[in-house]
Chains A and B, each alone.
Chain A
Amino acid sequence: EVQLVESGGGVVRPGGSLRLSCAASGFTFDDYAMSWVRQAPGKGLEWVSGINWNGGTTAYADSVKGRFIISRDNAKNSLYLQMSSLRGEDTAFYHCARRSAWHLDYWGQGTLVIVSS
C-alpha cells in the first residue's frame, strides 16, 4: 500500500524557516517524481514544487521561487521542502504527492504550517 506521511509543520514567525519531510513507503520511491501541493485553510489547492526521480530537475511556483527548496533522498525514501523567508500567505496544509506522468496519483494527509508572530 502506497503511503506518504508528512511531518515538520508547526508555528513559525514571519521571516523564519522550516523544513518539511515526507516519508514514502509501499512503492519504489526512485521510480517516481514527487511534488508538494499546499492548501490554505478553507482555500483551494496550489502546486508548490516538483522534483524528478533523481533530484536533477526541480521546479517551483512563482510564489515560492527563491525561498523554498525541494530535495529528496532516495536512500531514505524521503522528500523534503526547505522553506525560508516565510510569510503569512505561506500558512497552509502542505501535502506531498507522488507524480505519475503529469498527475498526482497518491497524496499524503498533509502537515500544517502556520506563519504568525
Chain B
Amino acid sequence: QSALTQLPSASGSPGQSVTISCTGTSSDVGGYNYVSWYQQHPGKAPKVMIYEVSKRPSGVPDRFSGYKSGNTASLTVSGLQAEDEADYYCSSYAGSNIVVFGGGTKLTVL
C-alpha cells in the first residue's frame, strides 16, 4: 500500500492549461481503470472531479479531463480560472478492496 506519486506543486496563468500527473504501479494505476481525481479547497471537503480515469461527474466543467497511460494518470485543467486554485489528489483502486491516494498537488493560478 504505497501512496501514488504526485509532484507537490503546479502552476499556470489564467486561460492556460496545466497537467498534473500521478504515478503508481501495475498493482494500482496500471492495473485498473479506477483512477479518480479530487479537488480540495482550503477548509473544505474533497470533491470528485474525474472518476474511472476520464469520466466527469455531472456539474464538473469540461475544462477538466483525465487520461491514463501505463502506470501514470494525468489530470488536465484547461482554460485555467482563479477558482481552480486548490489541492488536487489522485486515487486508484489497488485490489483487495484497497484504495490508495497520491500525496497531492497544490495548483496555483498565477
Could you tell me which A residues sit within 8 Å of B by CB distance? 35, 37, 44-47, 50, 52, 57-59, 61-62, 95, 100-105, 107-110
Contacts and interface: CB of A to CB of B under 8 A. Distances in A.
Nearest to A51: B97
B64 interface: no
Contacts, number: 70
B96 A59 contact: yes
Interface of B: 1, 3, 32, 34, 36, 38, 40, 45-48, 51-52, 57, 87, 89, 91-93, 96-104
B102 A103 contact: no
A105 B38 CA distance: 10
Contacts of B57: 105
A47 B40 CA distance: 15
Q: Is the interface of A mostly helix, strand, loop or mixed?
A: strand
Given A50-B97, A102-B32, A45 B48 contact: no
Nearest to A61: B1
Contacts of A57: 97
7 contacts: A47-B101, A58-B97, A102-B36, A102-B92, A103-B36, A104-B36, A108-B45
B42 to A, nearest CB: 10
B101 A104 contact: no
A101 B34 contact: yes
A63 to B, nearest CB: 8
Given A45-B89, A103-B51, A103-B52, A61 B98 contact: yes
